[in-house]
Structure 1
Amino acid sequence: MADKTYPKWAKPALEFGPILAFFVAYLLLKDRSFEIGGTEYEGFIVVTAGFIPVFLISMAALWRLTGHLSRMQAVTAVLIVVFGGLSVWFNDPRFFKMKPTMIYLLFGGVLGIGLMRGQSWLQVVMDGMMPLTDRGWMLLTRRLMLFFFGLAILNEAIWRTQTEEIWVYFKTFGLTAAIFVFFITQGRLFKDHGLPEDDEG
Protein backbone atom coordinates (compact mmCIF):
# COMPACT_ATOMS: atom_id res chain seq x y z
CA MET A 1 0.00 0.00 0.00
CA ALA A 2 2.91 2.35 0.67
CA ASP A 3 3.72 2.40 -3.07
CA LYS A 4 0.35 3.83 -4.04
CA THR A 5 0.35 7.24 -5.65
CA TYR A 6 -2.00 9.86 -4.28
CA PRO A 7 -2.48 13.62 -4.62
CA LYS A 8 0.07 15.63 -2.66
CA TRP A 9 -2.67 17.52 -0.86
CA ALA A 10 -4.34 14.37 0.47
CA LYS A 11 -1.89 13.60 3.29
CA PRO A 12 -1.76 17.10 4.84
CA ALA A 13 -5.54 17.41 4.37
CA LEU A 14 -6.10 14.25 6.41
CA GLU A 15 -3.55 15.27 9.06
CA PHE A 16 -4.69 18.86 9.57
CA GLY A 17 -8.29 18.69 8.35
CA PRO A 18 -9.75 17.40 11.65
CA ILE A 19 -7.96 20.14 13.63
CA LEU A 20 -9.28 22.87 11.35
CA ALA A 21 -12.75 21.30 11.45
CA PHE A 22 -12.60 21.39 15.27
CA PHE A 23 -11.65 25.05 15.14
CA VAL A 24 -14.43 26.03 12.75
CA ALA A 25 -17.03 23.99 14.65
CA TYR A 26 -15.94 25.59 17.92
CA LEU A 27 -16.35 29.10 16.50
CA LEU A 28 -19.85 28.20 15.34
CA LEU A 29 -21.00 26.48 18.53
CA LYS A 30 -18.95 28.04 21.33
CA ASP A 31 -21.81 30.21 22.63
CA ARG A 32 -24.47 27.52 22.38
CA SER A 33 -25.52 24.75 24.73
CA PHE A 34 -27.29 21.50 23.92
CA GLU A 35 -29.49 19.28 26.03
CA ILE A 36 -28.79 15.62 25.28
CA GLY A 37 -30.36 12.84 27.32
CA GLY A 38 -31.42 15.30 30.00
CA THR A 39 -27.90 16.70 30.40
CA GLU A 40 -26.82 20.12 29.20
CA TYR A 41 -23.56 20.26 27.25
CA GLU A 42 -21.62 23.34 26.25
CA GLY A 43 -20.62 23.80 22.63
CA PHE A 44 -17.01 22.88 23.44
CA ILE A 45 -18.05 19.45 24.70
CA VAL A 46 -20.26 18.81 21.67
CA VAL A 47 -17.45 19.81 19.32
CA THR A 48 -15.04 17.54 21.21
CA ALA A 49 -17.46 14.63 20.90
CA GLY A 50 -17.63 15.19 17.14
CA PHE A 51 -13.89 15.63 16.80
CA ILE A 52 -13.06 12.14 18.10
CA PRO A 53 -14.72 10.10 15.30
CA VAL A 54 -13.65 12.63 12.66
CA PHE A 55 -10.02 12.29 13.76
CA LEU A 56 -10.20 8.48 13.84
CA ILE A 57 -11.78 8.36 10.38
CA SER A 58 -9.04 10.65 9.06
CA MET A 59 -6.33 8.45 10.58
CA ALA A 60 -7.94 5.34 9.07
CA ALA A 61 -8.07 7.07 5.68
CA LEU A 62 -4.44 8.15 6.08
CA TRP A 63 -3.39 4.59 6.88
CA ARG A 64 -5.25 3.29 3.85
CA LEU A 65 -3.73 6.00 1.67
CA THR A 66 -0.09 5.72 2.77
CA GLY A 67 0.06 2.17 4.13
CA HIS A 68 1.27 3.18 7.60
CA LEU A 69 0.84 5.48 10.59
CA SER A 70 3.70 6.81 12.67
CA ARG A 71 3.98 5.86 16.33
CA MET A 72 3.34 9.50 17.17
CA GLN A 73 0.08 9.50 15.23
CA ALA A 74 -1.04 6.24 16.84
CA VAL A 75 -0.29 7.49 20.36
CA THR A 76 -2.00 10.81 19.62
CA ALA A 77 -5.12 8.96 18.45
CA VAL A 78 -5.26 6.93 21.66
CA LEU A 79 -4.87 10.01 23.86
CA ILE A 80 -7.52 11.90 21.91
CA VAL A 81 -9.97 9.06 22.46
CA VAL A 82 -9.09 8.77 26.17
CA PHE A 83 -9.04 12.45 27.13
CA GLY A 84 -11.74 13.50 24.70
CA GLY A 85 -13.90 10.66 25.96
CA LEU A 86 -13.32 11.70 29.57
CA SER A 87 -14.35 15.26 28.76
CA VAL A 88 -17.58 14.08 27.16
CA TRP A 89 -18.31 11.45 29.83
CA PHE A 90 -17.81 13.82 32.76
CA ASN A 91 -19.03 16.88 30.83
CA ASP A 92 -15.78 18.59 31.76
CA PRO A 93 -13.60 20.33 29.12
CA ARG A 94 -10.50 20.23 31.33
CA PHE A 95 -9.64 16.67 30.33
CA PHE A 96 -9.44 17.53 26.63
CA LYS A 97 -7.46 20.68 27.36
CA MET A 98 -4.93 18.53 29.25
CA LYS A 99 -4.49 16.22 26.26
CA PRO A 100 -1.67 18.19 24.56
CA THR A 101 0.15 18.32 27.90
CA MET A 102 0.01 14.53 28.21
CA ILE A 103 1.10 14.05 24.60
CA TYR A 104 4.16 16.28 24.90
CA LEU A 105 5.12 14.92 28.31
CA LEU A 106 4.93 11.40 26.91
CA PHE A 107 6.97 12.18 23.80
CA GLY A 108 9.52 14.18 25.78
CA GLY A 109 9.76 11.44 28.40
CA VAL A 110 10.28 8.72 25.80
CA LEU A 111 13.06 10.71 24.14
CA GLY A 112 14.59 11.34 27.56
CA ILE A 113 14.63 7.63 28.41
CA GLY A 114 16.40 6.93 25.14
CA LEU A 115 18.98 9.62 25.87
CA MET A 116 19.67 8.15 29.32
CA ARG A 117 20.39 4.87 27.55
CA GLY A 118 22.75 6.66 25.19
CA GLN A 119 20.38 6.27 22.25
CA SER A 120 18.40 8.55 19.98
CA TRP A 121 15.00 6.94 19.62
CA LEU A 122 14.10 9.84 17.35
CA GLN A 123 16.65 8.46 14.90
CA VAL A 124 14.91 5.08 14.94
CA VAL A 125 11.65 6.71 13.90
CA MET A 126 12.91 9.33 11.44
CA ASP A 127 16.26 8.08 10.12
CA GLY A 128 14.98 7.71 6.57
CA MET A 129 13.59 11.25 6.57
CA MET A 130 16.62 13.22 7.75
CA PRO A 131 20.13 11.85 7.11
CA LEU A 132 22.21 13.02 10.09
CA THR A 133 25.34 11.87 11.86
CA ASP A 134 24.89 10.02 15.14
CA ARG A 135 25.96 13.14 17.05
CA GLY A 136 23.48 15.19 15.06
CA TRP A 137 20.68 12.85 16.06
CA MET A 138 21.64 13.02 19.73
CA LEU A 139 21.71 16.82 19.66
CA LEU A 140 18.37 17.03 17.84
CA THR A 141 16.80 14.52 20.21
CA ARG A 142 17.96 16.45 23.28
CA ARG A 143 16.63 19.73 21.89
CA LEU A 144 13.33 18.17 20.85
CA MET A 145 12.91 16.59 24.29
CA LEU A 146 13.32 19.99 25.96
CA PHE A 147 11.01 21.54 23.36
CA PHE A 148 8.27 19.00 24.10
CA PHE A 149 8.56 19.63 27.82
CA GLY A 150 8.35 23.36 27.12
CA LEU A 151 5.17 22.89 25.07
CA ALA A 152 3.63 20.83 27.88
CA ILE A 153 4.32 23.61 30.38
CA LEU A 154 3.04 26.25 27.96
CA ASN A 155 -0.19 24.36 27.31
CA GLU A 156 -0.83 24.03 31.03
CA ALA A 157 -0.19 27.73 31.57
CA ILE A 158 -2.51 28.80 28.76
CA TRP A 159 -5.52 26.60 29.47
CA ARG A 160 -5.36 27.31 33.18
CA THR A 161 -4.94 31.09 32.93
CA GLN A 162 -6.55 32.13 29.64
CA THR A 163 -10.03 31.94 28.19
CA GLU A 164 -11.26 28.84 26.42
CA GLU A 165 -11.26 30.65 23.08
CA ILE A 166 -7.63 31.72 23.47
CA TRP A 167 -6.69 28.10 24.22
CA VAL A 168 -8.51 26.89 21.09
CA TYR A 169 -6.57 29.40 18.97
CA PHE A 170 -3.36 28.30 20.67
CA LYS A 171 -4.08 24.60 20.11
CA THR A 172 -5.08 25.09 16.48
CA PHE A 173 -2.39 27.49 15.31
CA GLY A 174 0.10 28.10 18.12
CA LEU A 175 1.29 24.55 18.64
CA THR A 176 1.60 23.87 14.92
CA ALA A 177 3.51 27.11 14.38
CA ALA A 178 5.81 26.37 17.32
CA ILE A 179 6.80 22.98 15.89
CA PHE A 180 7.40 24.52 12.46
CA VAL A 181 9.57 27.29 13.96
CA PHE A 182 11.52 24.74 16.02
CA PHE A 183 12.63 22.79 12.97
CA ILE A 184 13.35 25.98 11.02
CA THR A 185 15.72 27.08 13.80
CA GLN A 186 17.61 23.78 13.58
CA GLY A 187 19.00 24.68 10.18
CA ARG A 188 22.54 25.04 11.51
CA LEU A 189 22.38 21.57 13.08
CA PHE A 190 21.16 20.02 9.82
CA LYS A 191 23.95 21.81 7.95
CA ASP A 192 26.73 20.84 10.37
CA HIS A 193 25.65 17.23 10.94
CA GLY A 194 23.88 16.33 7.70
CA LEU A 195 25.05 13.37 5.66
CA PRO A 196 25.34 13.36 1.87
CA GLU A 197 22.14 12.05 0.27
CA ASP A 198 23.98 9.11 -1.28
CA ASP A 199 25.51 8.17 2.12
CA GLU A 200 23.87 4.96 3.27
CA GLY A 201 25.38 5.17 6.76
Structure 2
Amino acid sequence: MKQIIDFIPLIVFFILYKMYDIYVATGALIVASALQIVVLYLLYKKVEKMQLITFVMVAVFGSMTLILHDADFIKWKVTIVYAVLAAALAISHLIGKSAIKSMLGKEIELPDAVWTRITWAWVGFFSICAALNIYVAFHLSQDVWVNFKVFGLLAATFLFTLLTGVYIYRYLPKDKKSLPKDNKVD
Protein backbone atom coordinates (compact mmCIF):
# COMPACT_ATOMS: atom_id res chain seq x y z
CA MET A 1 0.00 0.00 0.00
CA LYS A 2 2.77 2.41 0.97
CA GLN A 3 4.55 1.90 -2.36
CA ILE A 4 1.36 2.81 -4.24
CA ILE A 5 0.95 5.98 -2.17
CA ASP A 6 4.55 6.92 -2.99
CA PHE A 7 3.76 7.06 -6.71
CA ILE A 8 0.51 9.04 -6.57
CA PRO A 9 2.12 12.53 -6.75
CA LEU A 10 4.22 11.43 -9.75
CA ILE A 11 1.15 10.02 -11.52
CA VAL A 12 -0.84 13.18 -10.80
CA PHE A 13 2.03 15.30 -12.15
CA PHE A 14 2.28 13.25 -15.35
CA ILE A 15 -1.45 13.18 -16.09
CA LEU A 16 -1.95 16.90 -15.50
CA TYR A 17 1.14 17.75 -17.51
CA LYS A 18 -0.27 15.81 -20.46
CA MET A 19 -3.74 17.35 -20.02
CA TYR A 20 -2.65 20.94 -19.31
CA ASP A 21 0.92 22.16 -18.84
CA ILE A 22 3.93 22.11 -16.54
CA TYR A 23 2.49 24.80 -14.26
CA VAL A 24 -0.81 23.06 -13.56
CA ALA A 25 1.10 19.80 -13.10
CA THR A 26 3.55 21.46 -10.70
CA GLY A 27 0.76 22.97 -8.59
CA ALA A 28 -0.94 19.59 -8.45
CA LEU A 29 2.37 17.93 -7.54
CA ILE A 30 2.72 20.23 -4.53
CA VAL A 31 -0.84 19.50 -3.37
CA ALA A 32 -0.55 15.75 -4.02
CA SER A 33 2.78 15.59 -2.16
CA ALA A 34 1.27 17.39 0.84
CA LEU A 35 -1.71 15.02 0.84
CA GLN A 36 0.67 12.09 0.54
CA ILE A 37 2.44 13.16 3.74
CA VAL A 38 -0.88 13.52 5.57
CA VAL A 39 -2.16 10.12 4.37
CA LEU A 40 1.09 8.37 5.27
CA TYR A 41 1.01 9.90 8.74
CA LEU A 42 -2.63 8.93 9.26
CA LEU A 43 -2.03 5.35 8.10
CA TYR A 44 1.38 4.66 9.64
CA LYS A 45 1.75 7.32 12.37
CA LYS A 46 5.13 8.29 10.93
CA VAL A 47 6.66 9.79 7.81
CA GLU A 48 10.15 8.95 6.54
CA LYS A 49 12.71 11.77 6.68
CA MET A 50 13.44 11.45 2.97
CA GLN A 51 9.74 11.89 2.16
CA LEU A 52 9.66 15.07 4.24
CA ILE A 53 12.81 16.37 2.58
CA THR A 54 11.39 15.56 -0.85
CA PHE A 55 8.12 17.31 0.03
CA VAL A 56 9.95 20.43 1.19
CA MET A 57 11.94 20.46 -2.05
CA VAL A 58 8.79 19.96 -4.12
CA ALA A 59 7.11 22.79 -2.22
CA VAL A 60 10.07 25.16 -2.54
CA PHE A 61 11.05 24.45 -6.15
CA GLY A 62 7.44 24.00 -7.23
CA SER A 63 6.47 27.33 -5.68
CA MET A 64 9.41 29.04 -7.38
CA THR A 65 8.28 27.47 -10.67
CA LEU A 66 4.77 28.84 -10.21
CA ILE A 67 5.67 32.26 -8.81
CA LEU A 68 8.42 32.98 -11.35
CA HIS A 69 6.64 31.08 -14.14
CA ASP A 70 9.88 29.26 -14.93
CA ALA A 71 9.86 25.46 -15.33
CA ASP A 72 13.62 25.27 -14.79
CA PHE A 73 13.08 25.27 -11.02
CA ILE A 74 11.01 22.09 -10.97
CA LYS A 75 13.56 20.50 -13.29
CA TRP A 76 16.36 21.31 -10.86
CA LYS A 77 14.43 19.71 -8.00
CA VAL A 78 14.97 16.24 -9.49
CA THR A 79 18.73 16.74 -9.74
CA ILE A 80 18.96 18.14 -6.23
CA VAL A 81 16.98 15.24 -4.74
CA TYR A 82 19.31 12.72 -6.39
CA ALA A 83 22.38 14.69 -5.33
CA VAL A 84 21.12 14.87 -1.74
CA LEU A 85 20.50 11.10 -1.74
CA ALA A 86 24.02 10.44 -3.06
CA ALA A 87 25.58 12.80 -0.52
CA ALA A 88 23.53 11.40 2.37
CA LEU A 89 24.56 7.83 1.55
CA ALA A 90 28.21 8.77 1.13
CA ILE A 91 28.36 10.83 4.32
CA SER A 92 26.50 8.25 6.39
CA HIS A 93 28.91 5.57 5.21
CA LEU A 94 32.01 7.71 5.81
CA ILE A 95 30.97 8.48 9.39
CA GLY A 96 30.41 4.78 10.04
CA LYS A 97 26.61 4.75 10.06
CA SER A 98 25.71 3.38 6.65
CA ALA A 99 22.15 4.41 5.85
CA ILE A 100 21.58 1.41 3.61
CA LYS A 101 22.87 -0.99 6.24
CA SER A 102 20.73 0.62 8.92
CA MET A 103 17.62 0.34 6.70
CA LEU A 104 18.18 -3.23 5.54
CA GLY A 105 20.59 -4.65 8.10
CA LYS A 106 17.82 -5.65 10.48
CA GLU A 107 16.41 -8.06 7.90
CA ILE A 108 19.54 -9.06 5.99
CA GLU A 109 22.90 -10.16 7.34
CA LEU A 110 25.75 -9.30 4.99
CA PRO A 111 29.50 -8.79 5.39
CA ASP A 112 30.55 -5.16 5.86
CA ALA A 113 32.41 -5.19 2.54
CA VAL A 114 29.14 -5.99 0.74
CA TRP A 115 27.32 -3.15 2.50
CA THR A 116 30.17 -0.86 1.43
CA ARG A 117 29.94 -1.92 -2.22
CA ILE A 118 26.16 -1.53 -2.22
CA THR A 119 26.41 1.92 -0.66
CA TRP A 120 28.97 3.18 -3.18
CA ALA A 121 27.03 1.63 -6.06
CA TRP A 122 23.93 3.59 -5.00
CA VAL A 123 25.98 6.76 -4.53
CA GLY A 124 27.18 6.32 -8.12
CA PHE A 125 23.69 5.51 -9.38
CA PHE A 126 22.14 8.59 -7.75
CA SER A 127 25.00 10.77 -9.02
CA ILE A 128 24.51 9.51 -12.58
CA CYS A 129 20.74 10.12 -12.31
CA ALA A 130 21.40 13.68 -11.13
CA ALA A 131 23.75 14.34 -14.05
CA LEU A 132 21.42 12.70 -16.58
CA ASN A 133 18.53 14.82 -15.35
CA ILE A 134 20.54 17.98 -15.94
CA TYR A 135 21.33 16.89 -19.46
CA VAL A 136 17.78 15.81 -20.35
CA ALA A 137 16.14 18.78 -18.63
CA PHE A 138 18.27 21.44 -20.27
CA HIS A 139 19.23 19.94 -23.63
CA LEU A 140 16.05 18.15 -24.71
CA SER A 141 12.41 19.18 -24.94
CA GLN A 142 10.21 19.53 -21.89
CA ASP A 143 8.06 16.60 -23.09
CA VAL A 144 11.15 14.38 -23.25
CA TRP A 145 12.17 15.53 -19.77
CA VAL A 146 8.73 14.75 -18.27
CA ASN A 147 8.77 11.27 -19.82
CA PHE A 148 12.35 10.75 -18.64
CA LYS A 149 11.48 11.92 -15.12
CA VAL A 150 8.36 9.78 -14.85
CA PHE A 151 9.34 6.64 -16.77
CA GLY A 152 13.10 6.70 -17.36
CA LEU A 153 14.23 7.42 -13.82
CA LEU A 154 11.56 5.15 -12.37
CA ALA A 155 12.58 2.26 -14.64
CA ALA A 156 16.28 2.86 -13.95
CA THR A 157 15.66 2.84 -10.20
CA PHE A 158 13.61 -0.34 -10.43
CA LEU A 159 16.29 -2.05 -12.52
CA PHE A 160 19.09 -0.94 -10.21
CA THR A 161 17.10 -2.19 -7.21
CA LEU A 162 16.73 -5.58 -8.91
CA LEU A 163 20.45 -5.70 -9.70
CA THR A 164 21.22 -4.85 -6.09
CA GLY A 165 18.96 -7.70 -4.99
CA VAL A 166 20.76 -10.12 -7.30
CA TYR A 167 24.10 -8.96 -5.90
CA ILE A 168 22.88 -9.29 -2.31
CA TYR A 169 21.52 -12.78 -2.98
CA ARG A 170 25.03 -14.05 -3.70
CA TYR A 171 26.09 -13.18 -0.16
CA LEU A 172 23.03 -14.21 1.82
CA PRO A 173 23.92 -16.91 4.30
CA LYS A 174 22.16 -20.23 3.85
CA ASP A 175 21.66 -20.13 7.60
CA LYS A 176 22.95 -17.83 10.30
CA LYS A 177 25.96 -20.08 10.98
CA SER A 178 27.31 -19.86 7.43
CA LEU A 179 28.12 -16.14 7.60
CA PRO A 180 31.91 -15.72 7.71
CA LYS A 181 33.02 -14.74 11.22
CA ASP A 182 35.63 -12.29 9.96
CA ASN A 183 33.03 -10.49 7.79
CA LYS A 184 35.31 -10.74 4.72
CA VAL A 185 34.04 -11.24 1.20
CA ASP A 186 35.88 -13.08 -1.56
Which interval holds the TM-score relative to the shorter structure? 0.7 to 0.9
2:10 matched to which residue of 1? 19
The runs of at least 4 aligned residues of structure 1 exceeding 6 Å deviation read none
Write out per-residue CA displacement over residues 150-181 of structure 1, whole angstroms, 9 at most, x where no aligned residue: 00000000001111011111111111111110
- Per the TM alignment, residue 22 of structure 1 is displaced from its structure 2 partner at its CA by 1.0
2:27 and 2:140 map into 1 onto residues whose CA distance is: 22
2:161 matched to which residue of 1? 183
1:158 matched to which residue of 2? 136
Write out per-residue CA displacement over residues 15-53 of structure 1, whole angstroms, 9 at most, x where no aligned residue: 111211111111111xxxxxxxxxxxxx21122112101
Structure-2 change in CA distance of 1:151 and 1:165 (3 Å): same
1:140 matched to which residue of 2? 118
2:184 matched to which residue of 1? none
1:95 matched to which residue of 2? 73
1:114 matched to which residue of 2? 92
- Per the TM alignment, residue 195 of structure 1 is displaced from its structure 2 partner at its CA by 4.5
Which amino acid in the other structure matches residue 12 of structure 1? Q
- The normalised TM-score by structure 2 is 0.86
Which amino acid in the other structure matches residue 106 of structure 1? V
2:19 matched to which residue of 1? 28
Structure 2 gaps, min length 5 = 180-186
Q: Are the counterparts in 1 of residues 89 and 99 from structure 2 also a CA contact under 8 Å?
A: yes
Which deviates more, 56-65 or 101-110? Answer: 56-65
1:83 and 1:70 map into 2 onto residues whose CA distance is: 20
Which amino acid in the other structure matches residue 127 of structure 1? G
Identity of aligned pairs, percent? 28
Which deviates more, 130-139 or 151-160? Answer: 130-139
Secondary structure in structure 2 of the residue aligned to 1:26: helix
- The normalised TM-score by structure 1 is 0.80
1:49 and 1:176 map into 2 onto residues whose CA distance is: 21
State the aligned residue count.
Answer: 178
1:184 and 1:119 map into 2 onto residues whose CA distance is: 24
Is it true that 1:62 corresponds to 2:79 in the alignment?
no
Structure-2 change in CA distance of 1:197 and 1:149 (3 Å): farther
